[in-house]
Structure 1
Amino acid sequence: MLQPLAPCHDSVESMQVFKQHCQIAEEYNEVRKEIALLEERKKELIAKLDQAEREKVDAAQLAREFEELMEENRTLKLAQSQCVEQLEKLRIQYQKRQGSS
């Protein structure tokens, strides 16, 4: 903590300067405390911002993966329906062969 030099008790001016210096030192310490609190708050906000950015990137990544999986799902459903059609055609051909034998 800042401590002004002791005043000369015989001088009114020295006593006034001492009181002013005490007041300035007290204000300075209050400002330093406030700066420290603001610095801590700044760190917290930066951490929150970093977290939000990571979550935003994660959300975008998940959205891309979801779209890719949806596209793959559509492709697989189309392939499945084509296989079902082909199987049905083969069944019909097989039944025709069995009926003509």
Structure 2
Amino acid sequence: MVDVLMQLADDPSLEVKLQREHIKALIQTISVEWAMSELLKNPGAIQKATEELDRVIERDRGVEEKDIVNLPYIEAIVKRNDASHPMAPLLVP
């Protein structure tokens, strides 16, 4: 899939130019969708993640990259998602 998208990005005949950033965003979106679908199946995990975010992050700001070290449960969710739904099959031509 990624190979085809990269070929389309290099195709000058297309009316709409597909950028490499668009491909990266698509892959990241797919990963987030998988994580959200897994979380929706596990309300207990959502509750724990919400509690961790409430404890570590102030309500008036968003999560920043520097906060990740203080969010081990959220980090575990991301790692579990990456292990359960690897993007590798999308990379194989």
TM-score range for the pair, normalised by the shorter chain length: under 0.3
Task: Report which of the two structures shows the higher radius of gyration computed on alpha carbons.
Answer: 1
Point out which structure has higher relative CO (alpha carbons under 8 A, 6+ apart).
2
Higher-helix-fraction structure:
1
- TM-score, length basis structure 1: 0.26
- TM-score, length basis structure 2: 0.28
